[in-house]
Chain A
Amino acid sequence: MSQKNREGEVLTGTTILALPFEGGVVVCADSRTSTGTYVANRVSDKLVQLSDYIYCCRSGSAADTQALTDYVHYYLSQWSLDTGRIPTVKTAAHLMRRLIYQNKDQLQAGVIVAGWDPVHGGSVYTITLGGSCLELPFATGGSGSIFIAGLLDAEFSNGMDMAEARNLAKKACSHAMCRDGSSGGVIRTVVISADGVDRDYTPGNDLPFGPVAVW
């Protein structure tokens, strides 16, 4: 019953993205959670912390992705306890991949795992619906991502600094929220680097781009 939505399922028809910059990554998400066409939560938080320096951007079933991030958080804590170290993003992505791959028939989850670790610095992984795990230069996900693929291809570059990356993330997110009916609300971002994490909130009336300004 993999592809059909379960009845009454709460879905985060979503825009999520992760962009790396010199020394870290920024993760970004809209805040709309819907059941059918009703907005169940207009200020939800799709950015979940898996460990001190690793975040997960969730898309798909809210219940499934919540359960998954809980598990990965638990496994990573166990890993840190065993090794006495900060977990790597690669390990977090591997754990997420295993869970999604092995339960692909029961799950509706597409997530981005991104963060910083002392071994590889900032890195970005995406785990797709079927459980493929890909390390990418940058990642987008959710229903909104298709509307901003071209924008990011044109404007993303590898040498960005933190402010450039966050601004681009917010700009792209606002464009997706504009064109995707299943994305909307506010923009949340988290900047992750060796210095720690920095959250940022952009209210729905203050987006970088909106239909009001043009046409």
Chain B
Amino acid sequence: MANKHTTRPITTGTSVVGLVYDGGVLLAADTLLSYGSMAKSFNTPRMVSIADRVLLGASGEYSDFQEIVSRVEALALAETTQSMESVYDERTLSAKSLWNYLRAVMYQKRSKMNPFWNDLVVAGFENDAPFLGVIDKLGTTLQENLVATGFGGYLAMPLLREKWRPDLSEGEARALLEDCMKVLFYRDCRASARIQLAKVTKDTCIISEPYELDHSNGWNAPSMQRAVGDLDGDGGW
């Protein structure tokens, strides 16, 4: 029997959401890994910093993501070790070249009928401008001001489109992404309220520690508290 490879994901992570704001790029993803419908790990980051000003985030099969990260890290290391410049000139991988490289990798894999089962988000800051791009499991690339993979494509994208402006401040950008993550937590069975934010600007590239979204105001509307299953109710669903 011919090899089937990754035609079904096993250990998965869900959406990655990101946007360009005034002065940088902000990404968000939760830290839940699912094993089928079972929550396997609550604290596993799906966004990594690859080089000085480059972030890579992924949804989909986690083992494929680990493989991609180790390949890319080897590439970033080679960029330094293969350099014939002086020890002072550090060559690093740029976000755009990483994005292009990953397109080639993803396309090659899917053309061998053995895709990496991931949708990838690449963010960076170079030439005084923010960069944000996606690569899907077929090797399709998009460069956008707004990105959302997985369930986020359905649930977060409309919110982002409605609220996004190019001059969004960092605080507004963060609030918008947290809103998206909250909706995903409510409506995606594979999402959790434990999330991370990641930021690239001209000066920094940081990934936050995982933290819990505050959803205390999301369960108390009278329409939610009203019991509808009693005999005098409408039965509800």
Docked-complex contact A134 and B44, CB < 8 angstroms:
yes
Docked-complex contact B6 and A134, CB < 8 angstroms:
no
Of B61-69, B80-88, B155-163, B185-193, the segment with at least 4 beta carbons within 8 Å of chain A is B61-69
B38 at the A interface (CB under 8 A): yes
Of A15-23, A123-131, A200-208, the segment with at least 4 beta carbons within 8 Å of chain B is A123-131
**How many residue-residue contacts, CB under 8 A, span A and B?**
50
Docked-complex contact A130 and B33, CB < 8 angstroms:
no
A80 at the B interface (CB under 8 A): no
A49 CA to B214 CA in the complex, in Å?
A: 45
Q: Knowing A128-B11, A146-B38 touch, does A2 contact B4 (C-beta < 8 A)?
A: yes
Docked-complex contact A149 and B38, CB < 8 angstroms:
yes
Docked-complex contact B33 and A1, CB < 8 angstroms:
no
**What residues of chain A lie closer than 8 Å to B44, measured between beta carbons?**
134
A2 CA to B3 CA in the complex, in Å?
A: 8
Instruction: Determine chain B's interface SS by DSSP, over half rule.
Output: mixed
Contact-residue size bin, chain A (C-beta under 8 Å from the other chain): 10 to 19
Chain B 31-52 per-residue mask, 1 if CB under 8 angstroms from chain A, else 0:
0010100101100100000000
Contact with A128, one of B4, B6, B35 (Cβ below 8 angstroms): B35
Contact with A105, one of B4, B9, B41 (Cβ below 8 angstroms): B4
Q: Knowing A1-B1, A101-B63, A101-B67 touch, does A130 contact B6 (C-beta < 8 A)?
A: yes
Docked-complex contact B41 and A136, CB < 8 angstroms:
yes
B10 at the A interface (CB under 8 A): yes
Which residues, 113 to 171 on A, are CB-close (under 8 Å) to B?
Answer: 128-134, 136, 146, 149
**What residues of chain A lie closer than 8 Å to B67, measured between beta carbons?**
101
Chain A residues with a Cβ under 8 A of chain B: 1-3, 97, 101, 104-105, 128-134, 136, 146, 149
Which 3 pairs of residues, A with B, have the shortest CB-CB distance? Answer: A130-B10, A132-B63, A132-B11
A-B contact list, 29 entries, CB within 8 Å: A1-B1, A1-B4, A2-B8, A3-B8, A97-B63, A97-B66, A101-B67, A104-B5, A105-B3, A105-B5, A128-B35, A128-B40, A129-B10, A130-B6, A130-B10, A130-B11, A130-B62, A130-B63, A132-B11, A132-B61, A132-B62, A132-B63, A132-B66, A133-B63, A133-B66, A134-B11, A134-B41, A136-B41, A146-B38
